[in-house]
Structure 1
Amino acid sequence: MTSVSSRQSADPAPYAPDAEVVRLTSELIRIDTSNYGPEPGPGERTAAERVAELLDEVGIESRLYESEPRRTSLVASWAPDGVDASAPPLLIHAHLDVVPANAADWQLDPFAGEISDGCVWGRGAVDMKDFDAMLLSVVRARARAGVAPRRPIRMIFTADEEAGGLLGSQWLVDHHPEHLEDCPEAIGEVGGFSLTVKDDLRLYLVQTAEKGMNWLKLIADGTAGHGSMRNFDNAVTELSGAVTRIGEYKWPDRITASQRAFLDAVSEALQVDLDPDTVEQTLQRLGSISRMVGATMSNTANPTMLQAGYKHNVIPGQATAAIDGRTVPGGEEEFFATIKELIGEKVRYENVVNLQAVETEFAGALVEAMQTSLVAEDPQARAVPYLMSGGTDAKAWARLGVSCFGFAPLKLPPDLDFVGMFHGIDERVPTESLEFGARVLDRFLAIA
């Protein structure tokens, strides 16, 4: 397909922005970049070196940075002849790491990158080696054809996003902010995918906000002793009570601007009035996306790990638990006050990860470019904002004032459980969706 920019050129240079996207997605999946958090893993070095090679082949130089051995991020700037040099760079970011996968649970090898039933299968197919490949396919096609984007592009492929970005995006902000300080806007993952609500309408969810991430370690201290004795200062008992209270707590709804805009769009599309008390039941008509939407109606806190003791007949002197807390924009103060009340006086907490919620206004030229590029490929498209329950590298970039949007466009089959693919088994992405996304991204770069 010929892109918007090549049709506008006085001397068109035809090229296919989607030509390599399927192959590159498969290739990147085959590079195991599993992120085990504090445990050692293969690291992102091999993937970063391969991305550097792919960019170098079309004359784009890049720099590799390592926060720790093999925890590698890549930065590249692309401003070929023909760009508007007076415009600030657009940051396009993607991460190279993936969460681990147990091959025994999968239909196909999660690190084989196989193509089957019209999909590319494997860990990272949707989170997020698909967008890595889209970006590379588009940029390589344009560079070879000599077709410049409208404005300079700053590409960052990060390490460690799946563990909060401390060794990737957060490290880059702390040690190399010069690569971001001239970028007022950014696009990245978990946005731009379609949600079919009617035969003649697909909502494309653009992430304009994401919840804060507050990972806590609960600690209960007690008196150690023999398991056969009475013990009224038992750390396990105190911790269990705190964990139960947190797990059973019903957080009050807190509707943000991004959430309200999304709910209004859904209300209009479904032609129903959304009652705040029954909104989650109504949203179930949208399929699996309702799980993500439900998680963004309020703060959340889920116990995820417990640790105590070392022998059956020994009462331990300490017990610990992990809590995955997520806060809506503006909800952090309420979150910590509530946690303190729930855990009681005999349990304390430590912050393991504390990343602020972010929110960007769904307006401006960049948003208009998203809508225009989507409609050019899908006449039934309508871009709408939404609040994401998880987190991305946008949290780091926002520290430097970058306005971040999730825009990795995919036109998806209505029956595909896309949300369930994130960190799930049998992760896969349709090849047609990848090619669609590359074409939309190409149009976007021509006008953004």
Structure 2
Amino acid sequence: MGWVADEVVELTSELIRLDTTNDADTVAAGRERVAAEYVAAKLAEVGYTPTYVESGAPGKGNVVVRLEGADPGRGALLVHGHLDVVPADAAEWAVHPFSGEVRDGFVWGRGALDMKGAVAMALACARRFKRDGVVPPRDLIFAFVADEEAGGFAGARWLVDNRPDLFEGATESIGEVGGFSFTVADRARAYLVQTAEKGAMWLRIKVTGTAGHGSMVHDDNPIATLAAAVARLQRHRFPVVLTDPVRDFLAGVAEITGVPFDPDDPDAAVARLGNLSRMIGAALRDTANVTVFEAGYKANVVPSVARATVDGRMLPGREAAFEAELASVLGPAVEREWDSLPPVATTFDGHLVDAMAAAIATEDPGAHVLPYMLSAGTDAKSFSRMGIRHFGFMPLRLPAGLDFTALFHGVDERVPVDGLEFGVRVLDRFLRIC
């Protein structure tokens, strides 16, 4: 597997150097086209005939290819990854975020983890299979898509609604975020497979009041009213709900470590997870964080309106309760409108799960494979509309001390070179037995 492992680092670096920042500007053209054209060229080079589609907006480039498998009667496996990345301020980074620099055993840059490294792994496997004439056990559909960082409305969601033919026959899928390692205790590694993810609600809230001179007495100041509502939301804690994937994950960690897990006190178990506690802890309850606050235009004017944006994430089955709780906390003076995407969940069983465990065990004997729930969201929300069962599985072996979760959308995002090489070897093995 030397060829596929050698190529993945180069592909990751080259993809990072292509600035595909998605700032969620619905007016400007998308930036994904340059990466989509790069991927299409790499696929065509080994004999594929890629389908290039711009979805929903100019520049929102997507590339899809299908590799026929040995059993056309089996449902196809969709392997998907997104080409866009969140913004990065170069002044905050140790290296330029779009340099793709390889240094100190890492590939650095925006998207190294989220998710151009994983895209590179999928691309390397697709290229190798075609070049070597590998026939997988079932059809493989490789999809490299746009706009995931803005909810996928002009990416996977658009493709599902307008080009379902590209995914015909797909019954299962793999993508972000899962397959990464977590060193539990005494160097024992667990690999986390995502079987569920929280729903998302991007809430736009507004308070209107009476505009006037800043020197007067104002009992109807919309900034003060909205600030008070935001402060209530910040203090509020949604109830703990122990879902099956979180329960199974915490029970699995308890079995590995020998430290009992008390289902009546999951917060205590999460607190023992070190850097991973932020991600797993956020899967214990709904969350709602204010991310934008906008009001005012002059020092001596009380404005007539104040606005804010809230990033809300809710557990499966909590959609209606979450909406009602938000309304209660914010209060009747706060107007609300939103876009939302539903939670997604499946069970941790079946041939695909067995194939994941077998592929990891070949490269890392003695490793444990556990399910978990992602606190964020992925394009699985869009593909699930077609009845496609999703698993977060893009394998990656991580150093024990690396704060993996802090690097997602963070400064100095980077991925270990040996982790990428490990991951592409596992993915290659997995796709041969899936």
Alignment TM-score > 0.5, same fold? yes
- Give the Cα–Cα distance (whole angstroms) in 1 for the partners of residues 63 and 286 of structure 2: 34
Kept in 2: contact 1:200–1:380 (CA 8 A): no
Kept in 2: contact 1:181–1:400 (CA 8 A): no
Kept in 1: contact 2:29–2:58 (CA 8 A): no
2:354 aligned with 1:368, yes or no?
A: yes
Q: Deviations over 1:180-206 (max 9, x none)?
A: 342110000110000111235211000
Among 373, 390, 409, the alignment partner of 1:423 is 409
- Give the Cα–Cα distance (whole angstroms) in 2 for the partners of residues 128 and 83 of structure 1: 29
Kept in 2: contact 1:225–1:316 (CA 8 A): yes
- Give the Cα–Cα distance (whole angstroms) in 1 for the partners of residues 291 and 229 of structure 2: 13
Q: Deviations over 1:205-263 (max 9, x none)?
A: 00000010001011111111111222222211211111111111011101111111111
Q: Name the counterpart of 2:341.
A: 355
Q: Name the counterpart of 1:269.
A: 256
Report the CA distance shift for 1:189/1:30 in structure 2 as closer, same or farther (over 3 A): same
Aligned residue runs from structure 1 range 49-448, under 5 A: 49-66=37-54, 67-79=56-68, 83-199=70-186, 201-275=188-262, 278-351=265-338, 353-448=339-434
Unmatched tracts of structure 2, length 5 or more: none
Q: CA deviation at 1:407?
A: 0.2
The more displaced of 28-37 and 146-155 is 146-155
Q: CA deviation at 1:106?
A: 0.9
- Give the Cα–Cα distance (whole angstroms) in 2 for the partners of residues 253 and 129 of structure 1: 34
Q: Name the counterpart of 1:44.
A: 32
Kept in 1: contact 2:201–2:341 (CA 8 A): yes
Q: Deviations over 1:102-161 (max 9, x none)?
A: 111111111111111111111111100011111111121221111222211111111110
The two structures have a TM-score, normalised by structure 1, of 0.94
| SS state at 1:288 partner | helix
- Give the Cα–Cα distance (whole angstroms) in 1 for the partners of residues 332 and 290 of structure 2: 19
Kept in 2: contact 1:280–1:290 (CA 8 A): no
Q: CA deviation at 1:55?
A: 0.5
- Give the Cα–Cα distance (whole angstroms) in 1 for the partners of residues 63 and 266 of structure 2: 42
Q: CA deviation at 1:329?
A: 0.6
- Give the Cα–Cα distance (whole angstroms) in 1 for the partners of residues 92 and 366 of structure 2: 37
Structure 1 counterpart of 2:40, which letter? A
| SS state at 1:68 partner | coil
The two structures have a TM-score, normalised by structure 2, of 0.97
Q: Name the counterpart of 1:4.
A: none
**How many residue pairs end up in the alignment?**
432
- Give the Cα–Cα distance (whole angstroms) in 1 for the partners of residues 250 and 315 of structure 2: 15
Q: CA deviation at 1:16?
A: 3.3
Unmatched tracts of structure 1, length 5 or more: 2-14
- Give the Cα–Cα distance (whole angstroms) in 1 for the partners of residues 212 and 327 of structure 2: 28
Kept in 2: contact 1:64–1:73 (CA 8 A): yes
- Give the Cα–Cα distance (whole angstroms) in 2 for the partners of residues 41 and 179 of structure 1: 23
RMSD: 1.4
| SS state at 1:33 partner | coil
Q: Name the counterpart of 1:12.
A: none
Structure 2 counterpart of 1:409, which letter? P
Q: CA deviation at 1:174?
A: 1.4
| SS state at 1:64 partner | strand
Q: CA deviation at 1:277?
A: 6.3
- Give the Cα–Cα distance (whole angstroms) in 1 for the partners of residues 424 and 300 of structure 2: 60
Kept in 2: contact 1:21–1:435 (CA 8 A): yes
Q: CA deviation at 1:340?
A: 0.9
Kept in 1: contact 2:152–2:158 (CA 8 A): yes
| SS state at 2:336 partner | strand
